Structures are given as structure tokens and as C-alpha cells.
Amino acid sequence: MDRKETEKEKMISSKLYFSGDAELTQDRLNAKEICYDFNLLRPSLREERANLIKKLFGKTGKDICIESPFHCDYGYNIEVGNGFYTNHGCCFLDVAPIKIGENCMFGPNVGLYCAGHPIDVATRNSYLEYGYPITIGDNVWIGGNVTVLPGVTIGDNTIIGGGSVVTKSIPSNCIAVGNPCRVLREITEEDKNKYKQENPK
């Protein structure tokens, strides 16, 4: 006889799941307890802060910095690469996997929201939910107050302008802004030279 799929397994695989499940309820509480401890630690306690994030996240790279306050649902569905930085007030609803590449920078109050709720009110009120993964490539810069919605992929080297609501996937090597977020232009060779410091005389 086949083993019955757990609500946690359904959640991570983007199936409709019961959010009131006892295991998931405890997992959320565990994550909130770690976030609470992390958000109360003094900024100078860098090692202690780093250890809590390693305990919370599923995978962490080297040289990452999470400014407090930070909030998430489960933590174990979050994977970040080397050189990740997120400013104050970010919130990741990681009911599905969130994968963030190398050398990514987030402004304050960035929200990555994998979670979704059924349109039908009776289904929604029965604590059934779903979630779709969010994937962010390498060298991505996301401006302050950006919201990224379920199922979105953002390609390598892309910049998302502040205040944008990203409802659909955005390709690599571009600047995208707006609500809904749209590609403004590609990043060009000219951009590489824009901020070069002049040689001192």
C-alpha cells in the first residue's frame, strides 16, 4: 500500500495543502521563535546572528548579511548563495522553495511571497492553501519595497526597481520596474563604464 503524502510534502511540491496541519503549525512556530531571537540580538553579535540564520535557512552561502527585523514562515525552504545581503524589514513566505543565487542584494521591505489562497471562499476558509517557488539568479539587485509573487523567476544580473510588484518572470540582464513589473531595458556595455572612477591626476 502506498504511503499517504504528508501535508508538508504537498506544500513543498506546490499541491493544495491544509495549513492547519499539526506538523506545519509546529514548523511555523519554530521559525517564528528563531526569527524572534534573531531580531532581538544586538547588531554587534555577528557570529550569534549568523548561527541563527544557518539554523533557520535550508542552505546558506558564505558572507551573507540579514538585517533585522527579518521574518519568514518556515525557513527550511530558503536557500541563499554567497554574498547575499538583505536590508531591514524583509519577509519571505516560504511555503514553497525560495532559491536565491550568489551576490544578490535586497533593499528594505522586500517581500518574497510564495503563498497563495484559493479564489473560492469555501475552500479558502477551510485553511487550504498552495504555494509556488520563487527563484532568483546570481547578481540580482532588488530595490526597496518590491513584492515578488508566487512562481516568479528573476534572471541573472537583473535589477528590479523599487516599489515594483513582480507578477511574472523577468529575464536576465535587464532593468525592470513597475506595477505590474515590466522590462524597461537591457543592461548594456555602456552601463559598465558609467560608474568607473576617473584616474587621479
Catalytically annotated residues:
117
Cβ atoms of residues 14 and 133 within 8 Å: yes
Q: Measure the CA–CA gap between 101 and 103, rounded to whole angstroms.
A: 7
Tell me the backbone φ, ψ of residue 185, rounded to 5 degrees: -170, 165
Q: Measure the CA–CA gap between 80 and 136, rounded to whole angstroms.
A: 9
Say whether 25 sits in a helix, a strand or coil.
helix
Cβ atoms of residues 96 and 58 within 8 Å: no
Using alpha carbons, select from 143, 145, 141 the residue that is nearest to residue 158.
141
